[in-house]
């Protein structure tokens, strides 16, 4: 029995199967994703989604789906499935022939119709722009033919295609297939089989294919897809047919061997830990001598804040120290003044995150611990660390500046610079301009760490300029943020009020390597977080006792954004909660940390297979929400694994 074991009897139940999604990346920015029965439910679904250099490296859906038809005795059995307008209107309902779904190295479906048993495996080649499907006829009692029909989109990931007269519906013949390019600027899509076949040109648009998840999210949800025709080929019992879609011409005779070689490179998903490690590797993107982290699939790109928060878990906890350094070096080249780009690149970069540079220090701390060599750290990153601190002290855009009390003030009206950055109708849902608790906890940690390194390497100038700041910041932190009556930390303090909303941001003042709190204060923070925010799936972003609390993340975009940081549960916060309880309670906290990890095992087959989602509802039963696979969710659960082993004294 495979580790990712699904209820085979429920696969043909659309309520069951359409809620379970698969994802595989090529480690170079491309991916395929769809439901387990291969019926697309999101505009972000597709079998070949690639970043297109000509369009600012934004992801585009080239190949949306592929339908297969089994032909025997003149009868056709279509294995595809699409949602069309109307309640319960699915055509051609090929899911009813599925008898098995397995997900070990790669997704594998088994179809049975009459005496035919057909196996279908999907695979995205690593570090190439090539997607393949392998069909194996496991059983058949009479001559059988296979018809393969590709559905093309050629559109931006966030948009939908519509039938039009501008699409280039012509194709060109290549060996064992065709190549097609619907619009200028796109690469050709080469569609080939490993054996000679007949391509029957039958250009047509399929109208109003619906994506139910987009309908539920309040977005446009109907799309027109173009089919240039279909490939038809005889297939014998025991025979294998490979369909390849690529941006460059493939060698047909080598497709079978290439598929098998790629399959052997895939790590098995035979345990919870291996599922997480496989998922972790999918966020790393290597392109043109850079290594970056995708924040989440299927709709996120690279985010600076998410990169630094997720980096240690995704790399160091999988033994990939090299990638950790490569990501740090990639990001350090994009440092502008004292800020890293939060989203976007080059001319499209937005430097609007007050905490991304401060999380950089934490990533470096984790990397330093892994390599145990401060010489490398100071040589490679010391200058940039000092540059960031100097810029925060002098002042940056968006009123980011260290005040005379040693604390960081940030923000301006209409801006959301912290990780709680949801904006509805131009207004931040959680306005946090002023002294934000986690920003100042991160600041204190960054200054203390840099000072310790400077002392070790005799940087007397820096030590003289910054030596008194930690003491000043520590005193001001307690004076400004400590809520003596309730024994926890204010979330935000400005010139007019102190916000005593119970939020998880205070946990970082305990978890970070350098804390400005006393041990009794740390215990007070942990108590309130445990009492009001802790759930099996993460920490709530707001206490249920607050009148602004939203327990469910659902509705249209404005409704969802209003709940995003107002009660919604975030798994990534658990990593720092566990750091906090280990800091205070040591080995006594091991059982609780182990229970936290165990609580995510059920999620491997619940939403995005073999991964952990972005968020969960604040109210029980904490349903999976948001992106199906989120970098910092996976990273921090992996990091808890590492911490447990470390505390136990295991390697």
What 3 state SS string does 117-138 have? EEEEEEEECCCCCEEEEEEEEE
CB of 525 closer than 8 Å to CB of 490: no
166, burial (CB in 10 Å: exposed 0-12, middle 13-18, buried 19+): exposed
Looking at residue 56, what is its pLDDT? 83
Interval 122-130 mean pLDDT: 97
Residue 227 and residue 200: Cα distance in Å, rounded? 11
pLDDT band at residue 425, thresholds of 50, 70 and 90?
A: confident
Res. 347: pLDDT tops 80: no
Looking at residue 361, what is its pLDDT? 98
Looking at residue 275, what is its pLDDT? 95
Per the structure block, which two tokens stand in for 557? Answer: 């975009």
The neighbour count for residue 545, using CB atoms within 10 Å, is 10
pLDDT band at residue 651, thresholds of 50, 70 and 90?
A: low
Taking alpha carbons only, the member of 409, 395, 512, 572 closest to residue 417 is 409
CB of 269 closer than 8 Å to CB of 610: yes
Interval 170-193 mean pLDDT: 97
If you search the block for the tokens 């699915």, which residue do you land on? 90
Looking at residue 170, what is its pLDDT? 95
Give residues with Cβ within 8 angstroms of 483, minimum separation 6.
Answer: 489, 490, 498, 500
b vs e for 17-47, b when ≥16 Cβ sit within 10 Å of the residue's Cβ? bbebbbbbbbbbbbbbbbbbbbbbbbbbbbb
320, burial (CB in 10 Å: exposed 0-12, middle 13-18, buried 19+): middle
Q: Which residues pair with 434 in a beta bridge?
A: 410
Looking at residue 33, what is its pLDDT? 98
pLDDT band at residue 8, thresholds of 50, 70 and 90?
A: confident
**Bigger pLDDT: 114 vs 334:** 334
Instruction: Supply the mean pLDDT for the chain.
Output: 95
Over residues 378-421, the pLDDT tens digits come to: 999 999 999 999 999 999 999 999 999 999 999 888 889 999 99
Taking alpha carbons only, the member of 446, 432, 437 closest to residue 391 is 446
CA-based radius of gyration for the chain = 26
Give residues with Cβ within 8 angstroms of 577, minimum separation 6.
Answer: 504, 507, 511, 529, 534, 539
pLDDT band at residue 435, thresholds of 50, 70 and 90?
A: very high
Res. 650: pLDDT tops 80: no
> Which domains does the chain show, CATH number per domain?
8-265 (2.70.98), 272-648 (1.50.10.10)
Q: Tell me what percent of the residues of the chain surpass a pLDDT of 90.
A: 92
Looking at residue 1, what is its pLDDT? 54
Residue 321 and residue 651: Cα distance in Å, rounded? 15
């Amino acid at each position: 029995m495979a580790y990712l074991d699904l209820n085979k009897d429920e696969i043909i139940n659309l309520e069951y199967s359409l809620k379970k999604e698969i994802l595989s990346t090529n480690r170079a920015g491309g991916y395929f994703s769809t439901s387990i029965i291969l019926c697309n439910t999101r505009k972000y679904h597709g079998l070949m989604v690639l970043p297109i250099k000509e369009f600012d490296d934004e992801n585009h859906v080239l190949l949306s789906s592929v339908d297969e038809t089994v032909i025997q005795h003149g009868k056709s059995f279509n294995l595809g499935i699409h949602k069309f307008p109307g309640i319960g209107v699915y055509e051609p309902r090929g899911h009813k022939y599925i008898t098995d779904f397995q997900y070990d190295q790669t997704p594998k479906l088994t179809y049975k119709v009459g005496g035919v048993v057909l196996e279908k495996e999907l695979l995205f080649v690593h570090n190439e722009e090539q997607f393949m499907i392998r069909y194996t006829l496991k059983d058949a009692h009479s001559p059988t033919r296979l018809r393969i029909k590709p559905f093309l989109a050629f559109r931006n990931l966030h948009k939908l295609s519509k039938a039009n007269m501008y699409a280039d519906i012509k194709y060109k013949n290549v060996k064992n297939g065709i190549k097609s390019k619907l619009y200028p600027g796109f690469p050709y899509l080469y569609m080939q089989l490993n054996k000679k076949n007949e391509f029957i040109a039958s250009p047509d648009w399929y109208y109003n294919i619906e994506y139910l998840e987009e309908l539920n999210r309040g977005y446009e949800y109907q799309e027109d897809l173009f089919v240039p025709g279909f490939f038809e080929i005889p297939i014998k019992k025991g025979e294998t047919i490979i369909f390849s879609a690529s941006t460059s011409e493939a060698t047909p005779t080598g497709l079978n061997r290439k598929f098998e070689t790629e399959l052997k490179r895939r790590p098995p998903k035979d345990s919870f830990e291996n599922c997480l490690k496989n998922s972790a590797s999918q966020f790393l993107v290597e392109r043109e001598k850079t290594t970056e982290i995708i924040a989440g699939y299927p709709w996120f790109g690279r985010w600076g804040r998410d990169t630094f928060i997720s980096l240690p878990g995704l790399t160091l906890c999988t033994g990939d120290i090299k990638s950790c350094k490569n990501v740090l070096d990639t990001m350090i080249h994009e440092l502008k003044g004292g800020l890293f780009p939060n989203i976007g690149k080059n001319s499209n970069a937005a430097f609007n995150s007050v905490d991304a540079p401060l999380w950089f220090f934490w990533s470096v701390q984790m990397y330093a611990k892994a390599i145990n060599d401060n010489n490398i750290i100071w040589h490679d990153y010391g200058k940039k660390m000092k540059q960031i601190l100097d810029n925060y002290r002098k002042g940056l855009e968006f009123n980011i500046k260290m005040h005379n009390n040693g604390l960081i003030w940030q923000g301006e009206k209409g801006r959301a610079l912290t990780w709680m950055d949801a904006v509805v109708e131009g207004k931040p849902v959680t306005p946090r301009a002023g002294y934000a608790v986690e920003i100042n906890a991160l600041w204190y940690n960054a200054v203390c760490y840099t000072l310790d390194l400077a002392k070790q390497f005799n940087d007397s100038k820096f030590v003289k300029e910054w030596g008194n700041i930690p003491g000043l910041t520590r005193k001001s932190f307690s004076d400004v943020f400590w809520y003596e009556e309730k024994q926890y930390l204010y979330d935000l303090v400005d010139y007019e009020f102190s916000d005593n909303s119970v939020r998880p941001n205070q946990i970082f003042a305990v978890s970070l390597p350098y804390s400005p709190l006393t041990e009794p204060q740390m215990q007070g923070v942990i108590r309130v977080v445990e009492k009001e925010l802790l759930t099996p799936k993460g920490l709530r972003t707001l206490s249920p006792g607050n009148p602004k609390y939203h327990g469910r993340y659902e509705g249209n975009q404005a409704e969802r954004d209003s709940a995003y940081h107002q009660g919604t549960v975030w798994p990534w916060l658990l990593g720092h909660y566990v750091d906090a309880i280990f800091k205070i309670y040591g080995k006594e906290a091991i059982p609780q940390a182990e229970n936290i990890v165990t609580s995510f095992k059920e999620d491997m087959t619940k939403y995005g297979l073999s991964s952990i989602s972005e968020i969960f509802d604040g109210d029980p039963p904490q349903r999976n929400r948001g992106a199906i696979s989120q970098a910092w969710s996976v990273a921090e659960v992996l990091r808890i694994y590492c911490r447990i082993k470390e505390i136990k004294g295991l390697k």
